[in-house]
Amino acid sequence: MKKILIANRGEIAERIIRTCNKLDLETVAVYSSADKDLPYVRQATAAYEIGDPPAAKSYLNQEEILRVAKEENVDAIHPGYGFLSENASFVRKIREQGITFIGPSAEVVEAMGDKITARKTMQEAGVPVVPGSGEIVDVTEAIAYANEITYPIMLKAAAGGGGIGMQRCENDQELEKAFVSSQNRAKAYFGNGAMFVEKFIDDARHIEVQIVGDSHGNVVHLYERDCSIQRRNQKVLEETPSPFLSEKTRHQIGEAALLAAKHVNYTNAGTVEFVMDQEENFYFLEMNTRLQVEHPITEETIGVDLVEWQINVAKGEALPLKQEDIKPSGHSIEHRLYAEDPTSFMPSPGKIEALQFPEIEGVRIDSGYESGSTVSPFYDPMIAKIIVSGASREEAIKRSIDFFTAFSLTGIKHNGPLFTQLLKENNFQQGNYSTSYLAKILVKK
């Protein structure tokens, strides 16, 4: 393997280029006309403009991406996350061209991409699953099932992800109102309007486990990440290890993730997501068949390069570590820095006048922008991931506070002030929070 095309943009494209440079691999970047001046375009060995700013005309344009791949005679394609990273037809087209896809098989991507199929598969594997329905296309059927398992419930898109097409409902009226709008969003984003109803777990934690498998039958987990700090069902801050889990539950949830991965013959990097109640009972939510946004905190505590693992597994190599060799050390927190109003969470696209990251021990910056860059309204408004590590959770929190106190970004609004507030909250410092926590402290403010 000598040349890799990165079918993505911004921060994750830069992240992949960094590892490729370390491995002496050439990189091919693709970009929309809105992204032509972003740093990753300059950093790649070669770069091609593939279309207009709307994702459907550029980063979701499979034929144009494959055209570039063939023109550059690349050996592999890394999809990053989002866009085409969990698109089974894209995986098949790549492999039909004789190009290596850096990810799992199309069959696994397809099976886990449909949330209803994924639930059934995990039940067959013996992994605990949240009570929920099969595919529902009619609101009357949804209401009947919701009354059967009792409110509150979560209405979800069968082909969904990233919180899109997902809504909590407390009664028949809310469900009836939410059904059509959620279904329409699902159709628009995923081309599939199928929905399902799932029991809502009150005061839940969102815990996910990093897994990696190879083509030699080896699968390991790299422990958990706590992703419970969310707004509108989307993650804002993640940390590892979870301050909530007992060692017994940590072992059990890791074993459940391995059970899930082995059942579907998983290869490459992926994540098994769970919802957990206050008694530490956990239930399967979904399997993400790609690299996660929050993978750096696992890298920092385990001491590995997950993109390097992905590339080597795709080349047919065996995993470098066995489960008993994987020992996490210290604590790491990722803060997703967004171009958005820190109170309303409305996006704040525009030109970054000045962006200054203070140099603080234990801080890693994975950024897609620089001073003078323009944050486009067409894509996710994440500017950078601030990954802060320390020997203890207390040290990681202190370094995070020091970072956001000294950090400076002008020209657009950003959610830096939110982290300054959150990190000083007593309940957060004690690790006492759930997926509803962030909404509560914003109301209190």
119 tagged catalytic: no
Q: At CA 255, angle to CA 250 and CA 256, rounded to 5?
A: 100
Tokens of 336: 């997703």
Distance separating the N- and C-terminal Cα atoms of the chain = 53
Gyration radius (Cα) of the chain, Å = 21
Q: 46 CB contacts (<8 Å, ≥6 apart)?
A: 26, 27, 28, 29, 72
Q: Quote the CA–CA distance of 7 and 64 in Å, as a whole number.
A: 11
DSSP classification of residue 380:
-
Q: Tell me which amino acid residue 312 is.
A: N
What's the residue count for the chain?
445
Which residues sit opposite 355 in a β-bridge?
A: 409
Q: Give Cα separations from 237 to 305, 416, 434, 438 (angstroms).
A: 21, 12, 12, 10
8 A C-beta contact, residue 357 and residue 407: yes
Tokens of 309: 């693992």
Q: Determine what percent of the chain falls in helix, strand and coil, rounding each to the nearest 5.
A: 35, 25, 35
Catalytic residue among 290, 336, 393, 399: 290
Which residues sit opposite 275 in a β-bridge?
A: 206, 283
Active site residues: 290
